[in-house]
A and B are shown apart, each in its own frame.
Chain A
Amino acid sequence: MARIIVVTSGKGGVGKTTTSASISTGIAKRGHKTVVIDFDVGLRNLDLIMNCERRVVYDFVNVIQGEASLSQALIRDKRVDTLFILPASQTREKEALTKEGVEKVINELSQTFDYIICDSPAGIEHGAQMALYFADEAIVVTNPEVSSVRDSDRILGILQSKSRRAEKGQDPVKEHLLVTRYNPARVERGEMLSVADVEEILAIPLLGIIPESQVVLNASNQGLPVILETETDAGQAYDDAVARLLGEEREHRFMTAHKKGFFSRMFKGG
């Protein structure tokens, strides 16, 4: 039985695709057979972040509509050989994802994969609901700002009422909070919500904190999941999140600003 994890947020541009790429790469690197599915039908971004855009022949919708088999559509990652990508269609509409079609694909993937990561499109409508429907767990990607937190709360409401687990009265979808694009210096200046604020409002367990970092853009420019940049803050933050997801206990980092002033260093005695 595969663990099905949706990466979701409501709001767009908060870091879902960045997170899906890094989390799936991190899990696969630890030896688990992993597939990451791009649910953003019509747009398709994941293949760019994973650097496999030129190898896309068939896509998710082709498989749903019986125009290609799963093995024809799946792309094996060039860097991590336990990782596969199922790309989205660029030409179809989100409505091409039917519940029955998605279920068929997920059931088939469940037989051979340990982890299925679903990269959700933005919004709370059909596409986002299809991405989360079959999930066992959800990584709720949230930026420390008002509209992102509000939208995350809405997505939590949908997970609790419209997921398969909710409809069937099973154990609820396990929720994880991932705060991304975090800027501790701005938090310290009172310009940005803190992790503690976001945790208090959303009231779900914290999986990790990904700092706002230039390396994310640099990595995506090259088609590299940032988790593979092991010397960088964002790369390490994603690695911590993967470790926690797989049951390891790791202390949270990247919560405070790097460069400490003279006084704060003195008072911390460091």
Chain B
Amino acid sequence: MSFLDYFRGKKTNTNTANVAKERLQIIVAHERGHRKQPDYLPALQQELLAVIRKYVDISDDMVQVEIDRTDTCSVLELNVTLPEK
């Protein structure tokens, strides 16, 4: 690392408040989305997982269940990642 880089590096690193704000915006949006999910969702996810496991060997994080609500309808979104064969 050159002498100049040292100063440049230092300069870009000091505005960590912006980084904090961007990270927070993402975290908070993600968590708020989850909060609006119905109470039965975790149980539904577990049962779906059990059914799929009868046929394919998958791990817990390979099934994602979400509910998207708009004014007129709700969509149950089921995302299953199958292992590569």
Contacts and interface: CB of A to CB of B under 8 A. Distances in A.
A190 interface: yes
B20 A146 contact: yes
Interface in B2-22: 14-18, 20-21
Interface stretch (B25-33, B51-59, B63-71, B72-80): B25-33
B28 A150 contact: yes
Nearest to A197: B21
Given A145-B20, A146-B20, A149-B24, A189 B35 contact: no
Interface stretch (A34-42, A88-96, A153-161): A153-161
Tell which of B18, B31, B32, B35 has the most Cβ of chain A within 10 Å. B35
A48 interface: no
Given A150-B27, A190-B16, A157 B32 contact: yes
B85 interface: no
Interface of chain B, main secondary structure: helix
Give chain A's interface residue range (CB within 8 Å of chain B): 10 to 19
Interface in A153-212: 153-154, 157, 161, 187, 189-194, 197, 201
Given A153-B32, A157-B32, A191 B24 contact: no
Contacts of A193: 17, 20-21, 24
A190 B24 contact: no
B20 to A, nearest CB: 5
Contacts of A187: 17
B15 A201 contact: no
Contacts of B27: 146, 150
B81 to A, nearest CB: 28
A55 to B, nearest CB: 42
24 contacts: A146-B23, A146-B24, A146-B27, A149-B28, A150-B24, A153-B28, A153-B32, A154-B31, A157-B35, A161-B35, A189-B14, A190-B14, A190-B15, A190-B16, A190-B17, A190-B18, A191-B14, A191-B15, A193-B17, A197-B17, A197-B21, A197-B24, A201-B21, A201-B25
